[in-house]
Amino acid sequence: MLKVDLDQPDTDKIWLAAGFIRRGGLVAFPTETVYGLGADALNADAVLKLFEAKKRPLDNPPIVHVSDVKDVRRLVKEVPSGAEVLMKQFWPGPLTLIFKRSDLVPSVTVAGLGTVAVRMPRHEVALALIRACDCPVAAPSANLAGKPSPTSAGHVLDDLDGRIDVVLDAGSTLVGVESTVLDLTVCPPLVLRPGGTSLEALREVLGVVELSRVVLAEEALSVGEVRSPGVKYKHYAPDADVVVVEGELGAVVERVRGLVEVYKREGKRVGVLCTDETKARYVGADVVLSLGSRGDLAGVARRLFGLLRMFDCEKVDVVVAEGLPVEGLGLAVVNRLRKASGYRIVKA
């Protein structure tokens, strides 16, 4: 683990880390969203090692990170005009764009797809590392598959210690949820994953932007404990079971309190994930963690994954989480919470 300065990363350490990537190794590094696990995107063997280290299924491709808009050209077949505008407006930043890929990109890097996901992170350490590698860097989030994404170097080691070469540690990440993934190979553009760049901001620039049905996969659900069909895997999940309670705030609080009581009676150790406005209402729970104020959705997003991991440290059996408004960064937060719950959503 190499500690690096957030604004002026130590050149020696960056070069050391880049050397590992150039030789086909794996380096975890901070971005503005979450920590990524980087490998040379053009080295198929190195990318295979990425999947192995994360225990990630081979059909889920990583994002390719660049340090300059110019680096996009050789990775893609064409740069649509909408992409030019978006890159100018949002890069470096938490927006990943899907392009038709060029033949330069190895098949394993894109999981056999005809497209490639590219982004330029807004973080001096990430940018310095990519520059020093002198290659595009494939980097999924640096967690074991299924776990919440890491927002600190400690989280990375909790999951991947002994499985990777280096972690560059520049402290906690700023945004806390991953980048927004926008597919530009379809018309109108389609958000595949909500994230650090809000849907509202994209619509302001592009006009029509659609939201993939999977983002708020709620219509596939009914009230109570029904799981979304086909969504068997858990994602972003702590070890504990997660239940999300959604609805009008007063009703949510009452329902959460009721569920806490039910689970306590079953002899379970119960956690509640809530907000500053409501945290005093859950005295019956064993562990109450607040995401911050409901008025500060950026703060909520920043704390989300760290708190989900905290419940594991606290060894709770079940986490009852309050839903949040689906506006701005709230859309990404609600998407992650629903996934973490394996779609156990209760309507208050």
Residues 6+ apart with CB under 8 A from 314: 269, 271, 286, 287
Report in angstroms the alpha-carbon separations of 134 from 148, 241, 337: 30, 43, 37
- The residue count for binding ligand TXA (CB under 6 A) is 25
Q: Using CB under 6 A, which of 12, 45, 55, 60 touches ligand TXA?
A: 60
User: 20-39 mask for ligand TXA (x: CB under 6 A)?
Assistant: -----------x-xx-x---
Strands ordered across the beta sheet of 137-138: 2-3, 166-169, 27-29, 36-40, 137-138, 64-65, 115-119, 95-100, 180-183, 190-193, 210-211
We find the least distance from the C-beta atom of residue 149 to Mg ion, in angstroms, to be: 5
CB 316 within 8 A of CB 271: yes
Q: Using CB under 6 A, which of 2, 63, 95, 164 touches ligand TXA?
A: 63
Please report whether residue 176 would count as binding ligand TXA according to CB under 6 A. Answer: no
Q: Calculate the CA dihedral of residues 294, 244, 31, 206 and round it to 10 degrees.
A: -70
- In the bound state with Mg ion, the residue whose beta carbon lies nearer, of 257 and 339, is 339
Helix axes 297-313, 153-160, angle to 10 degrees: 40
Q: Using CB under 6 A, which of 141, 228, 275, 335 touches ligand TXA?
A: 141
We find the least distance from the C-beta atom of residue 298 to ligand TXA, in angstroms, to be: 15
CB 184 within 8 A of CB 81: no
User: 113-152 mask for Mg ion (x: CB under 5 A)?
Assistant: ----------------------------x-----------
Q: Which stretch binds ligand TXA (CB under 6 A): 81-89, 135-143, 253-261, 308-316?
A: 135-143
CA atoms lying within 13 Å on the CB side of residue 233:
7
Alpha-helix runs per DSSP H in 117-268? 124-133, 153-160, 199-206, 249-265
Please report whether residue 113 would count as binding ligand TXA according to CB under 6 A. Answer: yes
* 90 alpha carbon, distance to own chain's centre: 18
- In the bound state with Mg ion, the residue whose beta carbon lies nearer, of 141 and 185, is 141
Q: Which stretch binds ligand TXA (CB under 6 A): 5-13, 14-22, 90-98, 214-222?
A: 90-98
Q: Provide the pairing of β-strand 36-40 with 27-29.
A: antiparallel
Please report whether residue 110 would count as binding ligand TXA according to CB under 6 A. Answer: yes
- In the bound state with ligand TXA, the residue whose beta carbon lies nearer, of 47 and 273, is 47
We find the least distance from the C-beta atom of residue 70 to Mg ion, in angstroms, to be: 27
Q: By the criterion CB under 5 A, which residues form the site for Mg ion?
A: 141
Q: By the criterion CB under 6 A, which residues form the site for ligand TXA?
A: 31, 33-34, 36, 60-63, 94, 96, 98, 110, 113, 115-117, 121, 139-141, 178-179, 181, 192-193
